[in-house]
Amino acid sequence: MKRIPMVILAAILLLTPSCDFMKSINPFGKKKAREAEALRRQQEAFRVADSIRVANEKQAEAERQRQAELALAEQQRELEYSRFHVIVGSFLTPSYADAWLEHIRSFGYDAMIVPMNGGRWSLVSAKSFATIREAWNALPGIQDNINGEAWVYSRE
């Protein structure tokens, strides 16, 4: 009688070829394995989506920097080609010059800050011109609209 359970146990052990077989027929482990696989896939999807988002943010930041550099280069080019400016304000403090620049731009002028040659002053130019005649012709209109003390500045 003691031999029958031993024979049955030996038969079971001989008929199961490996631990993988036992894992595959285990009804309790299948659900956890499926849940773990689903969680792993979800985490991988989040990781991929986050990588794409970070790459897009980096690309957008690089584009903003490129646009800012282009705008600065365009302003420098304007300064090089425009010799005469109608100045509506001159400031020692750069923050005051920036605030006045925005105020002048709110009037619709293509204003810019022009550094004074050899000085510490920041000049706020309402508009720049290629010739002195154009600058003198525009001066009365700017004096009437913005500042009665506006003057023409010639860059050297």
pLDDT band at residue 81 under the 50/70/90 scheme: low
CB under 8 Å, gap of 24 or more: what pairs does 55-62 form?
A: none
CB atoms under 10 Å from CB of 104, counted, come to 23
Question: Helix, strand, or coil here: 40?
Answer: helix
**Amino acid at position 11, single letter:** A
Structure confidence at residue 60 (pLDDT): 94
pLDDT band at residue 28 under the 50/70/90 scheme: low
What's the rounded mean pLDDT across residues 94-111?
Answer: 91
User: Do the Cβ atoms of 56 and 62 come closer than 8 Å?
Assistant: no
What's the rounded mean pLDDT across residues 51-61?
Answer: 94
Structure confidence at residue 22 (pLDDT): 59
The domain locations on the chain are 20-81, 83-154
Identify the CA nearest to 114 among candidates 102, 128, 133, 103: 128
- Asked whether residue 77 carries a pLDDT value surpassing 80, the answer given is no
User: In the chain, what is the straight-line distance between the N-terminal and C-terminal CA atoms, in Å?
Assistant: 118
Angle at 72 between CA 57 and CA 90, to 5 degrees: 130
Tokens of 33: 């394995």
Structure confidence at residue 10 (pLDDT): 74
Identify the CA nearest to 116 among candidates 78, 89, 148: 89
For the whole model, what pTM was predicted?
Answer: 0.51
Percent of the chain with pLDDT over 70: 83
- Asked whether residue 88 carries a pLDDT value surpassing 70, the answer given is yes
CATH placement of domain 83-154: 3.30.70.1070
